[in-house]
Amino acid sequence: MTKSHHITVLAPNGQTEPAIIEVADGEPLRLTFLHETLGSIEASEDDAFEALVKIRLRLEPAGYKLLCNAARRDVYPSAMARQMSHGFTAYKLTLGRYAKMEDRVRVLDPAPPETIGTVAEQRAFFESYFNAKKQAD
């Protein structure tokens, strides 16, 4: 079964454009990004978050960004979130504070442009968050 999710993309010129993410059930999970100008990009992974990372890495060199929670600098899934939701939920992280249930977000839900980062920026934020937690323990 395939489900379609309408999302917004930030183009290099600062304009927003519509796109679709199709999610095909199965193992591995397959996501297909569909955009009028960019065409389609497929990514298969064990979870949705990781598939979205692959799609984002293909979009970044062209200057495009997904405007969804999966692309926020401060959002990252826990191992349990990956396992229980197949990576469709993640946590909005705050440095120096453990993530709580109310910090969960759906990765395909919209996010404001000012919160969006590159995959590298997101990974760096998660690394800082993880290191701050280790020092607090």
Q: Are 130 and 94 in contact (CB under 8 A)?
A: no
Mean pLDDT, residues 56-63 taken together? 97
Q: Is 6 helix (H, G, I), strand (E, B) or coil?
A: strand
- 135 pLDDT tier (thresholds 50, 70, 90): low
Q: Are 67 and 112 in contact (CB under 8 A)?
A: yes
Helix (H) or strand (E) holding 28: none
Mean pLDDT, residues 100-114 taken together? 97
Per the prediction, the chain carries an average pLDDT of: 94
pLDDT one-digit tens code per residue, 5-25: 999 999 999 999 999 999 998
Q: Is 15 helix (H, G, I), strand (E, B) or coil?
A: coil
